[in-house]
Amino acid sequence: MPEAHNLGDMMDRIRALLTVIEEGSVNRAAVRLRITQPALSRQMQALENELGGKLLEREPSGVKPTGLGHALVKSMRPLVESYDTALSELRRQARGERSELRVGYLLSAAQSMLTPALAKLRKSLPEVKLKLHDMSPREQIDGLRAGELDLALIGQEGVAAASEFHSTKLCSLHVCVAVADSDPIAARKSIALKELKGRDFIGVDEDQVPGRNRWSTALCKSAGFKPRFAVVVDGITNVLSQVVSESAVTLLPGYFARLQHPGVTFVPVSDEKARWDFIVLWQKGRASTATRALVDALRQVAATQR
């Protein structure tokens, strides 16, 4: 019998040793494990070779653990249990039975849709453990990539990353332009994109809100001009104060019109091409029942809010 250097499954070997020590007999343990005594005897030898020391004292009436055998029992028993539990949970998840659902969203953008959708989910799957995280689009994308989120509600910023995950579009919002109250445009009922040619635009840090500037640029290009970003700020909330202090403009999805911001007026853009998509992203691989249920609920809510 050559010296074993590849050892079947070490965990199974360790489990077998636990059984042998419990029975105090290789033979009786073999019966329990439904293998023959010689196979089990060899497994024990292989384990001893792998660890470099005797685990069992062999006697005519059975076996007794050595000091090393006792130490292995002590350190490995909890480990084997944790391992089995983790594997079991992973198998459940593979079957779609994961009961935890980690959702990322930006509150101001997602609340009107997420709240009713979560109510539906709670009604249909009450045992689901929800973990809700209010975070920026960048954090959402990173969270999905790192496997820390199961699902993200995200706007146009998630479109570029959509191919990395499962995605579905929930709705397409109108776009408005934000201007200072004192701006002549503020009195308008709506405005065409081309009328913004020559105005200063406020951009946002591409790191925090990925794709926002590119989206604005693409829209203006379709209207025949390239926007000049006078200032680039590091967050959405700073955009509006800069619009006022710089007498500039910025393009925003229509849900901003619902937010009151002192000194700022939101004027709808009339161009039909000016749309802001709102999407949901979730991890590739088999989605859990909970994930699918939430995606469905979001679809239904979006359909009724059209």
Partner DNA sequence: TGCCGTTATGCCGGAAGCGCATAACCTCGG
Partner DNA sequence: CCGAGGTTATGCGCTTCCGGCATAACGGCA
Shortest Cβ 20–a second copy spacing (Å): 14
Binding mask 5-24 for a second copy (x = CB under 8 A): -xxxxxx-------------
Task: List, in sequence order, every residue forming a beta bridge with 173; answer none if it has no partner.
Answer: 276
Site residues (CB under 8 A) for a second copy, limited to 287-306: 287-288
With CB under 8 A as the contact rule, the residue among 75, 198, 226, 262 that binds a second copy is 75
Q: CA nearest 283: which of 123, 63, 93?
A: 93
With CB under 8 A as the contact rule, the residue among 19, 27, 41, 66 that binds a second copy is 66
Q: Which helix (H) or strand (E) holds 103?
A: strand 100-105
Burial of 54 (0-12, 13-18, 19+ CB in 10 A): middle
With CB under 8 A as the contact rule, the residue among 38, 39, 67, 300 that binds a second copy is 67
Task: Please give the C-alpha separations between residue 272 and each of 104, 117, 174, in angstroms, as whole numbers.
Answer: 30, 28, 8
d(CA 112, CA 134): 14
Q: How many residues bind a second copy (CB under 8 A)?
A: 49
Shortest Cβ 168–a second copy spacing (Å): 16
Shortest Cβ 259–DNA spacing (Å): 39
Task: List, in sequence order, every residue forming a beta bridge with 40; answer none if it has no partner.
Answer: none
- Three-state secondary-structure class, residue 13: helix
Q: Provide the CB-side half-sphere exposure for 35 (13 A, CA).
A: 15
Residue closer to DNA (CB basis): 6 or 75: 6
Binding mask 120-159 for a second copy (x = CB under 8 A): --------------------------xxx-x---------
Residue closer to DNA (CB basis): 37 or 241: 37
